[in-house]
Amino acid sequence: MAPWPPQSTDPPGPPRHGAWLTTLRGDGVEALSGLGLGWFGVDLQHGSLDARDLPDLVRAADLTSTPVLVRVASHDAAVIGRCLDAGAAGVIVPSVHSAAEATALVGAVRMPPVGQRSSGTARTAHASAAGRPAAILLPMIESAEGLAAVHDIAAVPGIDGLFIGPYDLTLAMGLPPTTDPAGIAARATVVAAARSRGLLAGAFAGDPALLETFPPLDLVAVDTDLGMLRQGAQVRLDHARRSAAAVRE
């Protein structure tokens, strides 16, 4: 597996493909770990997971040294700190509208003298002792305000990249999520802002047709766990029905 964290390059290398977890617990993560995923995203904003699930999810992902990024539910510094204390490799923070908000997030993620996050004797302390890299911070651009301020957000010292929430972004712009040229241009603007500062660029996809409209990315959340479950079940059911039809013939 490629080193973590990924490095933004010009041109960017192959993306690290990840699974977006909304309901799976540790045993489900273990089942997915053999697929060669580059990271797991744990969604604490939507879905049925909460911060109490994180330690077991991180331990399961650790079996294959797969990093876990957490999409937190808010900008609350205490919540962010607890997620990082649980061993997350970084946080994806929703609805970042301005450079001022991004600056506050740097304070929540970084320890002094850069930020205000306190240290403790949680899992993260053992990870630091083992030489794991510092947590990465990815503000999400998913609003018209965030898009307008994207270059200012990218210029904030201490962030590691920009993560696109394409569905909320196009919803805020009054556009369909996949095909509208203005939506495609908006996503390209976010990636260009990240590249201009040497930052990572990532996004949630879900729909393969949407993924095809992105410029090259460093981190791609391919689909949710439930989306993968539905698709896998559909493939197996279709195969079983074709087999049954062939036997009847």
Please list the active-site residues. 46
Tokens read off for 80: 């962010």
CA distance 76 to 73: 8
Tokens read off for 56: 């077991």
Q: Which residues pair with 140 in a beta bridge?
A: 163
Give the DSSP letter of residue 47: S
CA distance 107 to 37: 30
Do the Cβ atoms of 230 and 29 come closer than 8 Å? no
Tell me the angle at which helices 225-248 and 26-33 cross, rounded to the nearest 10 degrees: 60
CA distance 76 to 122: 19
CA distance 89 to 83: 9
**DSSP secondary structure string, 130-164?**
TTPPPPEEEEEE-SHHHHHTHHHHHTSTT--EEEE
Pairing of strands 219-224, 200-204: parallel
Q: Write phi, then psi, for 53 (nearest 5 degrees).
A: -80, -15
